[in-house]
């Protein structure tokens, strides 16, 4: 029986990231930047007002109201003529003469010779003449050319995950497209004569195809571009055509229900024609029996997962998800692990590393993580899909541990945040 770590290493060795592609910045969110985005022009591209007010020469209002920004100084009265109103987006050059002011909007270009903006609240708000109630320093409330970014600066670095702020910065520096690591293409299929799609009513002995929907969702959560193929046709010719087609168009392929049972034999025969597929026991539970191989001309990673939905989702989490994250270029493909104190005893399967669903909580007073397992460690109760839906973590129990007592510390892997 192979250890979980050995199998993960075999899977990781097969990780191949798709070639970077150039996409519109509106489509880049959540992807990793694959280039150093170097700016060609300053941001902002001109001196502009940071607030609504009056553009002035700071020397003309020096000492008013106790001095610039409230410093001590000679108290004097100043009233300036308002020579213009400058709106945001104005393209008409404006020049300010000594002892003049210009009404200005946020984001509007500063007039020549003006070196500060006087906030409206420090004036009487006059339209033709403005009475100054308080002075300002040079540079106050002005965004200078290149304050954010200078030409030659790196706006977005390679390896950065592009989020809303990065999209905004790319737009601000005039980039329409950006080179990114694309989402790996994942194909998800189910096999089993008992399966029917959710659009049909199951007959006697039939069950809904849960796996292709659940695993497709898990793939999207991991960051993949998912093609849910659905239930495979048992006809050998059709089977070969579909599987070979998906292997040729995907970076990762998952076939649920592909291990064990007579129903899997046609699938195994087709896979053996496309490459080497190994089905083995892994020292983990649930989901001990699983398959992995690299098939097709490009050696595409193909996984065979158990038919049971809980087992399939756990194997996907432990084996498939990290591969997808590596293909996305993520430096840390595994889930975040925290230490938590158990709220009840945990019984695990001897000799197998346990990945048990649980609910992770935090003590508001101490900040300590607490975890409560859901369902049983073995038997039918370990396969209840409803309890997995309630879980927000997986409790990881070492293979050599058969029992964890209440109050002991265990490793816990965060799952996707709910809500």
* Domains of the chain, residue spans: 2-15+182-326, 26-41+152-179, 46-141, 335-412
pLDDT per residue as tens, the chain (419 positions): 899 999 999 999 988 778 899 999 999 998 999 999 988 888 888 999 999 999 999 999 987 876 554 444 455 678 999 999 999 988 888 899 999 999 999 999 999 999 999 999 999 999 999 999 999 999 999 999 888 888 888 889 998 999 999 999 999 888 999 999 999 999 999 988 888 898 888 888 888 899 999 999 999 999 999 999 999 888 888 888 999 999 999 999 999 987 776 667 788 888 888 888 899 999 999 999 999 999 988 899 999 999 999 999 999 999 999 999 988 888 788 898 999 999 999 998 999 999 999 999 998 889 999 999 986 544 334 455 666 678 899 999 999 999 999 999 999 998 865 43
Instruction: Kindly report the number of other CB atoms within 10 A of residue 81's CB atom.
Output: 13
Fold type of domain 46-141:
Molybdopterin biosynthesis moeA protein; domain 3 (2.170.190)
What is d(CA 49, CA 108) in angstroms, rounded to the nearest whole number?
Answer: 6
Would you state the structure tokens that stand for residue 243, as one six-digit string? 């599987």
Angstrom distance (rounded) from CA 355 to CA 199: 32
What DSSP element (H or E) covers 4? helix 4-13
d(CA 283, CA 2): 6
- State in Å, rounded, how far the first CA of the chain is from the last one: 39
Fold classified for 2-15+182-326: Molybdenum Cofactor Biosythetic Enzyme; Chain A (3.40.980)
Pair type for strands 101-104 and 53-56: antiparallel
Q: Is the dihedral of CA 344, 345, 347, 352 positive or negative?
A: positive
The C-alpha atoms of residue 166 and residue 169 are separated, in whole angstroms, by 5
The CATH code that applies to domain 335-412 is: 2.40.340.10
0.85 cut: is pTM over it?
no
For residue 290 the two structure tokens come to 């699983």
Tokens of residue 289, six digits: 């029996």
Q: DSSP string of 101-153?
A: EEEE-TTPBPPBT--EEEEGGGB---SSEEEESS---TTTTEE-TTSSB-TT-
């Amino acid at each position: 029986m192979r250890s979980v770590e050995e199998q993960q290493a075999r899977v990781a060795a097969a990780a191949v990231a798709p070639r970077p592609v150039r996409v519109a910045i509106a489509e880049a969110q959540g992807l990793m930047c694959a280039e150093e985005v170097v700016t060609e022009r300053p941001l902002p591209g001109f001196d502009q007002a940071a607030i609504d007010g009056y553009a002035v020469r700071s020397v003309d209002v020096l000492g008013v109201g106790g001095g610039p920004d409230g410093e001590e100084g000679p108290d004097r009265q100043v009233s300036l003529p308002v020579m213009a109103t400058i709106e945001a987006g104005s393209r008409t050059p404006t020049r300010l003469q000594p002892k003049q002011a210009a009404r200005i909007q946020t984001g509007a270009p500063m007039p020549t010779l003006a070196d500060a903006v006087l906030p409206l609240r420090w004036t009487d708000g006059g339209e033709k003449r403005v009475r100054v109630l308080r002075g300002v320093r040079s540079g106050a409330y002005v965004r200078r050319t290149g304050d954010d970014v200078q030409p030659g600066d790196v706006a977005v670095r390679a390896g950065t995950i592009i989020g809303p702020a990065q999209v905004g910065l790319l737009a601000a520096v005039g980039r329409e497209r950006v080179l990114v690591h694309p989402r790996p293409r994942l194909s998800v299929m189910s096999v089993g004569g008992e399966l029917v799609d959710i659009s049909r009513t199951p007959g006697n002995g039939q069950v809904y195809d849960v796996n292709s929907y659940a695993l497709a969702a898990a793939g999207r959560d991991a960051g993949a571009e998912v093609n849910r193929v659905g239930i495979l046709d048992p006809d050998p010719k059709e089977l070969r055509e579909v599987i070979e087609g998906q292997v040729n168009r995907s970076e990762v392929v998952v076939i649920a229900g592909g291990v064990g049972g007579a129903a899997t034999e046609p699938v195994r025969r087709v896979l053996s024609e496309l490459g080497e597929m190994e089905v083995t026991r892994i020292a983990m539970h649930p989901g001990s029996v699983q398959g992995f191989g690299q098939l097709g001309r490009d050696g595409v990673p193909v996984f065979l997962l158990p038919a049971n939905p809980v087992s399939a989702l756990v194997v996907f989490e432990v084996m498939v998800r990290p591969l997808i994250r590596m293909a996305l270029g993520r430096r840390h493909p595994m889930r975040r692990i925290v230490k938590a104190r158990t709220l009840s005893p945990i019984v695990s399967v001897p000799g197998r590393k346990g990945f048990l669903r649980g609910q992770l909580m935090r003590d508001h007073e101490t900040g300590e993580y607490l975890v409560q397992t859901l369902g049983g460690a073995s038997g039918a109760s370990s396969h209840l899909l409803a309890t997995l839906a309630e879980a927000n973590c997986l409790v990881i129990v070492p293979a050599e541990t058969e029992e964890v007592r209440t109050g002991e510390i265990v490793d816990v892997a965060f799952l996707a945040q709910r809500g």
